[in-house]
């Protein structure tokens, strides 16, 4: 046997990425074999190497695509007038974007240690750019007196960590709608960075 009926790189390529994403998210990069991925696609393991240089590139590709889409989508957003509106826009965007792609997010956070040093640096740089975007908002707010945080870098990481937590429990069709979840978190973020006695409620 050889080339199979209906085989097409436009089909197989994306299917390999999807299968890898599903399996990496579910079981972890190290626990997933190339044969498992191939099996999910309905192909032999050797065929994967028409689409990826090796297993590491498969992981890196997924993570890079995710981070670049995150940055591009965020960059194309209306930024909001003033730091408070910008922070609200960020909060709602972040929650929605991340809840829409739980697998990508999970991989992006859990599989960093399985990247080669160069790949790790590349992904970290992208993540840093995203974090800098939030920190810039906080800095403007602090300068303008509408926010009050002891350290904008720590506050940035604290806010992102808090927002990322939503991915651990939210399930579509649950008690709260996506919109309600956004509002609940925005309420906490807003207050957390607000000046001590002035609340914008």
Residues lying near DNA in the complex (CB under 7 A) are found at 1-12, 32-36, 38, 42-50, 54-56
List the one residue from 1, 168, 172, 173 that touches its own copies (CB under 8 A): 168
C-alpha–C-alpha distance, residues 56 and 116, integer Å: 8
> How many other C-beta atoms can be found within 10 angstroms of the C-beta atom of residue 100?
11
Q: CA 157 from chain center: how many Å? A: 14
Tell me the closest approach of the beta carbon of residue 15 to DNA, in angstroms. Answer: 9
C-alpha–C-alpha distance, residues 64 and 36, integer Å: 22
DSSP summary character for residue 114: G
Q: Which stretch binds its own copies (CB under 8 A): 5-13, 77-85, 86-94, 178-186?
A: 178-186
Q: Return all residues near 51 (Cβ < 8 A) that are at least 6 apart.
A: 9, 12, 13, 16
Q: Which does 113 bind (CB under 5 to 8 A by kind): DNA, its own copies, none?
A: its own copies
Report helix, strand or coil for 77: coil
Q: With CB under 8 A, what is the number of residues at the site for its own copies?
A: 40
List the one residue from 54, 100, 132, 151 that touches its own copies (CB under 8 A): 151
Please report whether residue 171 would count as binding its own copies according to CB under 8 A. Answer: no
Residues 30-59 that bind its own copies (CB under 8 A): 30-31
Q: Which does 28 bind (CB under 5 to 8 A by kind): DNA, its own copies, none?
A: its own copies
Closest to 96 in 3D by CA, of 172, 44, 4: 172
Q: Which stretch binds its own copies (CB under 8 A): 4-12, 14-22, 58-66, 146-154?
A: 146-154
HSE at residue 155, side-chain half, CA atoms within 13 A, is: 23
Q: Which does 2 bind (CB under 5 to 8 A by kind): DNA, its own copies, none?
A: DNA
C-alpha–C-alpha distance, residues 51 and 34, integer Å: 12
Tell me the closest approach of the beta carbon of residue 33 to its own copies, in angstroms. Answer: 11
C-alpha–C-alpha distance, residues 185 and 161, integer Å: 12
Residues of this chain that interact with its own copies (CB under 8 A) are 26-28, 30-31, 110, 113-114, 149-151, 154-155, 157-162, 164-166, 168-169, 176, 181, 183-185, 187-189, 191-194, 196-197, 199, 201
């Amino acid at each position: 046997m050889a080339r199979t009926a209906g085989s097409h790189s436009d089909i197989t390529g994306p299917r390999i990425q999807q299968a890898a994403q599903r399996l990496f998210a579910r079981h972890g990069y190290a626990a997933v074999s190339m044969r498992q991925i191939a099996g999910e696609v309905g192909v032999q393991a050797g065929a994967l190497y028409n689409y990826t240089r090796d297993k590491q590139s498969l992981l890196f590709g997924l993570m890079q695509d995710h981070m670049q889409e995150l940055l591009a989508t965020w960059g194309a957003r209306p930024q909001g007038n003033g730091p408070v509106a910008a922070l609200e826009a960020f909060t709602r965007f972040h929650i929605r974007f991340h809840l829409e792609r739980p697998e990508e997010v999970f991989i992006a956070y859990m599989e960093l240690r399985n990247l080669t040093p160069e790949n790790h640096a590349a992904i970290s740089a992208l993540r840093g750019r995203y974090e800098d975007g939030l920190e810039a908002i906080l800095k403007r707010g602090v300068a303008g007196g509408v926010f009050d945080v002891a350290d904008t870098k720590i506050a940035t990481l604290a806010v992102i960590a808090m927002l990322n937590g939503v991915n651990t429990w939210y399930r579509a069709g649950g008690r709260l709608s996506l919109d309600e979840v956004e509002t609940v978190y925005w309420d906490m973020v807003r207050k957390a960075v607000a000046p001590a006695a002035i609340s914008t409620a």
